[in-house]
Amino acid sequence: MIITTRGIVFRFTKYRETSIISNIYTEEFGLGTYIINGVRSAKSKIKIGYFEPLNLIEFTVYHKPGRNIERITDIKSTHRIHSIRQNVYKSAISLFLVELLNKCIIERDKNLPLFDYLYNAILTLEQAPQNNNFHLQFMLKLSSFIGFGIHEPTSFVKQSGNENYYKEAETMRILQRLIEGELTDIPTLNTSQRTNILTDILHYYQLKLEITPLKSLEVLHTVFS
């Protein structure tokens, strides 16, 4: 059947001379793999720019349950992603988030709460003022949608392997604000605090999901140092 759905682009790879294969997290089907023929040709009606990671799109596909790769027939952007591409801090965060999502989200079934969270989080990153702690807040909240949930500081600290760091009341207050606040909340952290908390969140993720180290972490450290 022919279905139109919203989607979030996770990544794309080149396929043959002029085509690409893209992983897109969709509102209707969860994570899907799509082939776009001829998109790297100058004559293509569909432009490759639609498939930049974290782009928010709406597309039409001939969907057949059980098919591993499907073909996109029509596509448009639902929101223009500009600030994320132009702001060096947002760009570094987006690079990190893309790698994280590609490692953490593998389900091929519809999950509307997760889709809505990701969609609105990307809009927040795009539209809100620069927030150098966005990736920390994003990961803490994402955990609730992917099976383990970080809801309060105490259990997180116990499994962080870094309990001594959180003995100071100010540090625990910051962690609690990151967990409980909205993505538009911008707590003040210095470089050391941001690095320590990020390291501990990643350690927690690796305990729960056994994900491999993120290569984009070095970019974050360089940009925010």
Cα–Cα distance for residue pair 91/172, rounded to 1 Å: 28
How far is CA 11 from each of CA 31, 113, 166, rounded to the nearest angstrom? 11, 21, 36
In the chain, where are the structural domains located? 2-79, 83-224
Q: Which of 39, 31, 38, 35 is nearest to 5 (CA)?
A: 31
Question: Contact 137/125 with Cβ under 8 angstroms?
Answer: no
Mean pLDDT of 128-145: 95
Q: Which residues make beta-bridge pairs with 17?
A: none
Q: What is the pLDDT of residues 31-82, one digit of tens each?
A: 999 999 888 988 888 999 999 999 999 999 988 877 889 999 899 999 999 9
pLDDT score of 68: 85
E strands along the chain, which residues?
A: 2-15, 19-26, 30-36, 56-62, 70-79
Cα–Cα distance for residue pair 187/175, rounded to 1 Å: 10
pLDDT score of 1: 83
Cα–Cα distance for residue pair 204/153, rounded to 1 Å: 12
Cα–Cα distance for residue pair 137/148, rounded to 1 Å: 15
Mean pLDDT of 97-116: 94
DSSP 145: G
pLDDT score of 42: 84
Question: Contact 102/54 with Cβ under 8 angstroms?
Answer: no
Mean pLDDT of 144-156: 90
pLDDT score of 65: 77
Whether the pTM exceeds 0.75: the reply is yes
DSSP 190-204: -HHHHHHHHHHHHHH
pLDDT score of 186: 86
When the candidates are 1.20.1440, 3.40.50, 3.40.140, 1.10.3470, the CATH number that belongs to 83-224 is 1.20.1440
Q: Which residues make beta-bridge pairs with 62?
A: 2
Q: What is the pLDDT of residues 158-206, one digit of tens each?
A: 888 888 899 888 899 999 999 999 999 888 899 999 999 999 999 999 9
DSSP 116-156: HHHHHHHHHHHHSPP-TTHHHHHHHHHGGGTTS---SHHHH
pLDDT score of 196: 93
Provide the pLDDT confidence category of residue 91 given band limits of 50, 70 and 90.
very high
Looking at the chain, the whole-number percentage of residues with pLDDT higher than 70 is: 100
Overall fold of domain 2-79: OB fold (Dihydrolipoamide Acetyltransferase, E2P) (2.40.50)
Cα–Cα distance for residue pair 168/114, rounded to 1 Å: 34
Q: Mean pLDDT for the chain?
A: 93
Dihedrals phi, psi of 26, to nearest 5 degrees: -110, 155
| Residue 153 CA, distance from chain mean position | 23
